[in-house]
Structure 1
Amino acid sequence: MPIREMVAGQLEEPAVIDDGASEADSDELCEPKFKYKRILNDTIKVFEHDAASCLAVHEKFLAVGTQCGRVYIMDHLGNVLPMKSLNQHTAAVNQISIDGSGDYLISCSNDGKVIIFGLASAEYNQVLSMNRPIRSVAIANDFSKSNSGQQFATGDRTLTLHERTFFNSDKQTVLFTGKDKDGFITTISWRGPLVAFTNDTGTRVYDRTLRVLITHVVRKHDLSLRIELFPPRHCWLNDNSFVIAWANTVTVCGVRPNNNPASTNLPGKLVEIRHMFDLPDHYVAGVSYAYSDDVTASAEDNWKELVLFCVCKPAEDQAEKAVNSVNTDASPEEEEEVEKAWLPRVWLVEPIGFNDYEIISEDIIEMRDSDRLLAHHYHLLGIPIDSLYFLLGSRDMIEVRPCSADDHVDWLLKNDLHEKALAFAKLHVDELDAFSPHDVGRKLLDALIDDEHYEEAARMCPEVCGKRKDVWETYVTRFDERKKLRVLAPVLPVKVPQLEPECYEMVLKEFLAADIDGFRRLVREWSPDLYRVGGLITHALERLYRKNLDRDTHNSLLCTLGQLYTYERSYERALAIYMNLGDRAVFQLIERYRLFPMVKDRIRDLMDIDTDLAVRLLLENEESLPAGTVMRQLSKQPRLQLAYLDRLFSRNEGIEFADQAVTLYAENDPKRLLPYLRRYAEHYNIDKALETCKKKGLMEE
């Protein structure tokens, strides 16, 4: 009997007190499969003066029989429907059955009465006095139809079919007569042409079409487990499958056609046992199944798991433990163990093979007077197609529903499985009412931030926040509180959506305080329209004046200030910073914003920064600064003069400096003098050139 999960159910009114897991299992999270809600309203008053004896359920209403012989018709919330209750039995109601339409129900009692009661019409109402205790009844599914014959079955020692004749008399046909050893028929269930009924010796199925008994499923459990204390429970899974839950045995049966009835001397239908397993430590008080909505499944495969309502077998030493817990200083754990032993539990089980099963979940249920109740006091009936079940004790009733998609997400969140919750929410959007992927995502982000998993939280932000400006701004604030905006910066949106300037300023200020290079990178990458440049310049200057920066960091911050001044169009200040730093970015600034007039008197400084770029700049702006002016500014830098002349000559310009070029080549680059002399022989003064060569010892050239 492998156990997949031992879990606690969920309940609005406290009723589930334990998940059935041992201490060894405490580290393993087990998710509940069901949620529970105690049914109150009129049931409080009903159970205050009377005790329940049986239950029947319909998609429209509930019918609760009591020990005082009453039948209360209630809605699913526990409200007694006005003028819809019966008070005609003088002894406990044994069984109630409702027809398919929910228009009529039938009840029986040890007072010998069988009562048929119409909820929508009284046309077929009837009170039958059988003059003997009637232990069980079942009403035909089509009872309310006018031409159906209004059939129902009653059980005592015999199984009797009742039909309404043309003259409105009760026609009785005995379908089965038991012997003394068979005892009383305590349970009848009816599905289509098949009527299943159980007495002391087992369960039989009568086929009304074939007019014959087609099987006898013999009881397997110990004969000492009296049927009055451990009554059998039936549940039809579909038209051809049913479950018998009796004492500590669960049997799943299937009805199939007999293809060779003549040769086998058997009826035209056979019943085969598909699963039969024992519950070693429990007795079954009720059975239903979990409906499968798999559209690919056949009608025979509309279920996979059984829902069992069980009570524990009293342990041999249970009474002794109970006494000891009162008379000695028992530990809280021992007291709890004694208390839980009396409580019923709901199992979700999956049959495995023929005689084994797997417990998928187990919930221990707290019901009123549990310490005084046995298996026959409890009932479980369900409407599986609606995923709705009801538990009944003698003075308590609980609604049971499978946990929904919302419940699953809620459980995952409560157990800090936020990523799984988000993944599930994305895949089951249409099934969620209380949650959305966005809601779950925000809870995930909050949890990650609280747990200081900032990188992971930042990674999730684009997915969770999407294009919601307000949500982005909320998490900017949350990251700012933790001084972790630097982690968020790479994923922060700058267009869709564009956040308030304060958000970007907070990020930049954090970088300014802790990561100057990162600050410089963001200032370059982000548009100045995202934040207030003037205010940021003020903060940058304050940081600069603290004088606790190393040289590289100081220069990096200065470069960033230059960029900010450029954004602010304070070009003179930007130029001053770049020139003082010797940063080649000054050339791009000059060219982009046409700032040459502001630097034409600082040609030497530009040449020191980058000769090639400076020369190119001079040539592009020769109308503003003639070559003669440039040569004069560079008079003390002959190598720079020569570099400038090289570029002029390459453009066939600057011939007026041909004689000066001879001197510059001779003094600074003698190897290039001869090629120059040969190329420009007609432009320079040959005598001056010879004199220069003599002075420099270059006559060989």
Structure 2
Amino acid sequence: MASDSESSEEEWEEPKLKYDRMGNDLLEILRTDAASCIALHSKFVALGTHWGIVYILDHSGNNNTSKHCKPHATSVTGISLDGSGEHVASCSDDGTVKITGLYLDENNQVITEDQPVKSVALDPNYSHSSSKQIVYGTNELVLLEKTWLGRNKRTVLHGGEGLVRCVKWRGSYIAWANDLGVKIYDMKQRRRITYIPRVGAGGTNRVLPKLGGTRVELYPAHIAWKDDTTLLIGWDKDIKVCAIRDKPSRDSRAPTKYCVVVHLFKTDFSCCGIAPLGDQIAALAYMEEDNEAGSTRPQLRILEPNAADKESFTELSRDALSIRGYQTYRCKDYSLQHDSTEIYFVSPKDIVVAQPRDEDDRVDWLLHINHHREALEAVKEFGKRLKKHTYMEVGLLYLDHLIDSHDFTEAASVAPQILGNNMNHWEGLVHRCIKAHQVSVITAVLPRGDFRLPQACYELVLEELLKTNHKEFEKLLNDWPNDLYNIVTITNKVLTYLDRDSHNPVLLAALAKLYAADQRFDRALSIYLRIQHPDTFKLIRKHNLYAALQDNVVALMRFGEGEAVVLLLDHMEHVPIDKVVADLKRKPDYLHKYLHALYQRDSHLGSEYHDLQLQLYAQFDRPKLLPFLKSSNYYKLETSLEICKERGYVDEQVFLLSRMGNASGALALITQNEENVGRAVEFCKEQNDSELWLELINRSIHKPEYIRGLLENIGTHVDPIILIRRIPSSMEIPGLRDAIVKILQDYSMQTALWFECRKVLSSDVISLLRKQLRVNSRPISIDEERSCDACGRPLLCQNNGSVADMPVIVTFLCHHCFHDDCLPSQNRSSCNVCRGNIRHS
């Protein structure tokens, strides 16, 4: 059952409990009667009415007609169940207490008093106990039990303090409330443990100002056991938590139990029901109205006592309950009962049930407040613990929410994990995005792997983009596999649009991609070249369209000359050099780049075009002309010289003249065009011709600046005296003295260098000579295995042991040994092996 929040801050706070209204047969019962009290068991619910009837219902409100309780003459004031759920005890203002067995009738009995009975409690172990104990409250608290003879024994446990309006029995403890306070009785020791006054420590009755009656009648006490030793008390605006503790004592007759109030705090509401909720307290709150508009909705307050301060608490939540007819009810008309899993809120015409929220309830709440993403994550986290929700169901709600909020980007990002391989839901998403003109956001996430949608679905997406976004359409053709859609169908659609806009480059590129996908590569290449598409060369290489290069040489060069040249050179078998040169004759700049790249790849290829290439270098790239002249041997020298003369290229003319053998002419050209003699000097050094040096001297003799340059550089190549003697005595040469000083310094340096080198050589000669002497001074061993280096026979005779018969052995300092007879008589001064006259191995 939904609950209303009291403030905007709490609007997003998840409720602690979930609520539902008890229905079915209960609705018909309350239509003609009114609920007065209720008791709970895990198996069923016992409901007492103002007409004196006790109904046995299941937890859904269905009446169990097989279980009957004897009715009372007037309103039922209290109901109690034993622990096993086999017996029901009810009391009434007619002065009767009736005990009914739901399965056996042997323990049924009716107890009659001469005054109204306001409360009743069965021993929790009533069904299995022989004493069959029961307590009920009138002006006294009466204990009724069977003796060993089977007779009922009536004992008054307390009296004289007003009506006993409420009694609760748990374990061995009985707690009851009368007009003055709450008492606890220990059935084991058969004595009262404590008295807890109604207000504070010594409370007094307060008079209700408006009605003139006692507050205790309109605001009765409500008690509930949290556990076997903890009692919760809610009375008007006071709430107490009491704990029973053991009292150590040596006297066996002295009380061993005592009770302390561990929490006592004031509230801003009147408590009309109390129950434990874990470590927290659930209180049914009644709020008084100052005007005459009627009562407000009752509220369930969840309170957490402060462990550090017994008089303070934290309110964790408050839920306004939708009770039918709440406007006419007072605090005394409400009550609250609980078991381990449920809390029942009872009013005369309505019963509301609260239960702990489970995983499905959390998902419901997140969906209710439109936190769909958190709900989806919760479903993923809870997994199989969910009984109501599925990942697909919540995911579809999330997608609906995103689309309704026009957040199509987020919808596209989560669609794959939500929709999975569900084709129907995918198609629905596509149609919704197309309808909202947001199809571009889902193109990247549409399935295109093993799981795919029907072709028509992808074609719808392409057609929508063809209408709205041509660039996205072209991009999709690149990203999607060709078999996702019918190529011919989409091609025809594109052609239809091109009929209206034939120069649209994006549509032309898309058409080319479609032609390529349909293996009509000639048309695709034609379009690519027309629009100069960057994928032109990629298309050619991918599909080996090299045969088409012959008809598109100029177009390729115009589009991308660098990559075009590489392509043409890599596939000269398809496009010969002659074909390229012929096509590019009218585009000399393109032809120059082609021939230059060809020459760099192989200087011998296209050698017949080197004269043409020389002209192109001279026209477009002079820095590469001289290196080309130096490295190529296939051009005509005379023609090249004429070209360089026409353009005034001095360095190139000098090289060509020197290559033609006209070094003198080259030198003359240098001296005519260069003001610095350095270039002429370098040229003469390269030629290494003494006559050329003399010619340079003759050409420089009337140029003072040249003479100085020659004096500074000629010293190592020509005798400077020759130049000095030719200098006219009357000529004034700037820096002559410095030049002559440099000549003298160079000469002095050369002389010193010569002497030092001579010393080094002499030292090396002496060192090598000494090494040679040491080698030659080594002894020479001659044994029987040593053979003659001329004839190859052993040097020593092994058969004849006479010394006189021993052959004469000649040994050189080179350690080569010979028989004396093996050496020629005319030349015995040097070793024949070392001279090379003998090649013996």
CA deviations over 1:13-38 (Å, ceiling 9, x no partner): xxx8xx3747xx59955665555444
Larger radius of gyration: 2
Once the two structures are TM-superposed, the CA of residue 661 in structure 1 deviates from its matched residue by 4.2
> Residue 215 of structure 1: which of 185, 194, 206 is its match?
194
Q: Secondary structure at the match of 2:188?
A: coil
Cα separation, 2, equivalents of 1:639 and 1:359: 86
Give the secondary structure class of the aligned counterpart of 1:600. helix
| 1:188 has 2:167 as partner | yes
**1:616 maps to what in 2?**
566
Residue 70 of structure 1 pairs with residue 59 of structure 2: no
Matching residue's letter, 1:73 = I
8 A contact 1:349–1:361 mirrored in 2: no
Q: Which amino acid aligns with 1:621?
A: H
Q: Identify the match of residue 247 of structure 1 among 223, 236, 239.
A: 236
Q: Is the 8 A contact 2:169 2:175 kept in 1?
A: yes
Aligned counterparts, 1:392-541, within 5 A: 392-495=346-449, 497-541=451-495
> In the alignment, residue 381 of structure 1 is paired with which amino acid?
Q
Say if 1:428 and 1:304 are closer, same or farther in 2 by CA, change over 3 A: farther
Say which SS state the counterpart of residue 551 (structure 2) adopts.
Answer: coil
**Equivalent position of 1:680 in the other structure:** 632
Equivalent residues of 1:306, 1:350 under 8 A apart: no
Change (3 A) 1:209 1:548: farther
1:675 shift after superposition: 3.0
The amino acid across from 1:215 in the alignment is: T
What secondary structure is seen at the aligned counterpart in 2 of 1:247? strand
Compared CA separation, residues 215 and 262, structure 1 to 2 (3 A)? farther
Task: Write the distance in 2 (CA, Å) between the matches of 1:46 and 1:521.
Answer: 70
Aligned mate of 1:289, from 252, 273, 276: 276
Does residue 306 of the first structure (1) align with residue 285 of the second (2)?
Answer: no
2:564 is the alignment partner of 1:607: no
Q: CA deviation at 1:98?
A: 0.5
Secondary structure, in 3 states, of the residue corresponding to 1:248?
strand
Cα shift readout 1:643-693 (whole Å, capped 9, x = no counterpart): 333344333433344455445545554543443343233x45555555665
SS state at 1:577 partner: helix
Amino acid aligned to 1:240:
T
Name the residue aligned to 1:329: none
Inter-CA distance 20–558: structure 2 relative to 1 (3 Å threshold): closer
- Judging changes above 3 Å, is the alpha-carbon distance between structure 1 residues 505 and 248 closer, same or farther for their aligned structure 2 residues? same
How far the C-alpha of 1:266 sits from its partner, in A, is: 7.7
Task: Output the CA distance in 2 between the equivalents of 1:101 and 1:417.
Answer: 44
Q: Distance in 1 between matches of 2:10 and 2:95?
A: 56
| 1:155 counterpart = 2:137 | yes
The 1:690–1:270 alpha-carbon spacing in structure 2 relative to 1, beyond 3 Å, is: same
Q: What amino acid maps onto 2:78 in structure 1?
A: Q
Q: CA deviation at 1:484?
A: 1.3
AA paired with 1:256? R
Q: Is the 8 A contact 2:73 2:94 kept in 1?
A: yes
Looking at structure 1, the residues matched to 215 and 534 of structure 2 have their Cα atoms a distance apart, in angstroms, of 101
Task: Give the Å deviation of 1:41.
Answer: 4.0
Which residue of 255, 260, 279 maps to 1:267?
255
2:644 & 2:52 partners in 1: Cα distance? 138
1:378 is matched with 334
CA shift in 2, pair 1:429/1:566, >3 Å: same
- Could you tell me how far apart the structure 1 residues matched to 2:59 and 2:47 are? 11
Provide closer, same or farther for how the CA distance between residues 85 and 613 of structure 1 changes in structure 2, counting only shifts above 3 A.
Answer: same
Aligned to 1:177: 158
For the 8 Å contact 2:183–2:192, the answer to whether it is kept is: yes
- SS of equivalent residue, structure 2 residue 556: helix
Q: State TM-score, norm by structure 1.
A: 0.81
Q: 1:361–1:529: structure 2 CA closer, same or farther, 3 Å change rule?
A: same
Asked if residue 103 in structure 1 is aligned to residue 55 in structure 2, the reply is: no
Structure 1 residue 380 displacement after superposition: 1.8
Residue 78 to residue 629, structure 1, CA distance change in 2 (3 Å): closer
Residues 83-104 of structure 1: CA deviation (Å, up to 9, x unaligned): 4222254443332210111011
Consecutive unaligned residues of structure 2, counting only runs of 5 or more, are: 208-213, 656-841
Q: 1:579 aligns with which of 512, 529, 543?
A: 529
Displacement after TM superposition at 1:198 (Å)? 1.4
Check whether the contact 1:69–1:87 (CA below 8 A) recurs between aligned residues: no
Q: CA offset at residue 204 of structure 1?
A: 0.8
2:181 corresponds to which residue?
202
Question: 1:188 Cα shift?
Answer: 1.4
Whether the 8 Å CA contact 2:223–2:234 is kept in 1: the answer is yes
Deviating more after overlay: 25-34 vs 244-253 = 25-34
Change (3 A) 1:262 1:537: same
Question: Deviation per CA, 1:486-525, whole angstroms, max 9, x where unpaired?
Answer: 2333444432643333443344344434433333333222
Measured against aligned partners, the alpha-carbon deviations of 1:359-396 in whole angstroms (never above 9, x if no partner) come to 6123244335x56544333322122x22x232333344
Counterpart position of 2:105: 122
SS in 1 for 2:572: coil
Higher relative contact order, chain-length normalized (CA < 8 Å, sep 6+): 1
Would the alpha carbon gap of residues 41 and 563 (structure 1) be closer, same or farther in structure 2, given more than 3 Å must change? closer
Conservation of the 8 A alpha-carbon contact between 2:279 and 2:304: no
Q: Aligned partners of 1:48, 1:691: CA distance in 2, in Å?
A: 125
SS at match of 1:399: strand
> AA paired with 2:288?
K
Q: Which residue identity is paired with 2:280?
A: K
1:361 aligns with 2:318: yes
Matches within 5 A, 1:317-396: 318=291, 321=292, 338-341=293-296, 344-352=298-306, 353-357=309-313, 358=315, 360-368=317-325, 373-383=329-339, 385-386=340-341, 388-396=342-350
Following superposition, the deviation at residue 190 of structure 1 comes to 0.9
Judging by fraction of residues, say which structure has more strand: 1
SS at match of 2:475: helix
Q: 1:340 to 1:687 in 2, by over 3 A?
A: same
Q: Deviations over 1:62-93 (max 9, x none)?
A: 22223444322222233332342222544433
Contact 2:344 2:351 in 1 (8 A): yes
- Provide, for residues 577-602 of structure 1, a one-character-per-residue CA deviation record: whole Å limited to 9, x for no partner: 12223345322222221112223133
Residues 1:170 and 1:248: Cα distance change in structure 2 (over 3 Å): same
What SS does structure 1 have at the residue aligned with 2:442?
helix
C-alpha distance 617-355 of structure 1, shift in aligned 2 (>3 A): same
The aligned counterpart of 1:594 is 544
Describe the SS at the equivalent of 2:541. Answer: helix
SS of 2:500's partner is coil
Answer whether contact 1:232 1:247 (CA < 8 A) is retained.
yes
* CA distance in 2 between partners of 1:697 and 1:392 (Å): 117
| Distance verdict in 2 for CA 1:219–1:695, change over 3 Å | closer
Q: Within 2, Cα distance between the matches of 1:654 and 1:54?
A: 114
Letter in 2 for 1:117: T
> 1:654 pairs with 606, 611, 622, which one?
606
Q: Measure, in 2, the Cα distance between the counterparts of 1:609 and 1:69.
A: 103
Checking the alignment, whether the CA contact within 8 Å between 1:254 and 1:274 is kept in structure 2 is yes
- Alpha-carbon distance change, 693 to 206 in structure 1, aligned in 2, over 3 angstroms: same
2:338 counterpart letter in structure 1 = G
Paired residues, number: 637
Alpha-carbon distance in 2 for matches of 1:48, 1:511:
63
Shift, 1:191, TM fit: 1.0
| Aligned 8 A contact 1:41 1:79 in 2 | yes
Q: 1:340 to 1:473 in 2, by over 3 A?
A: farther
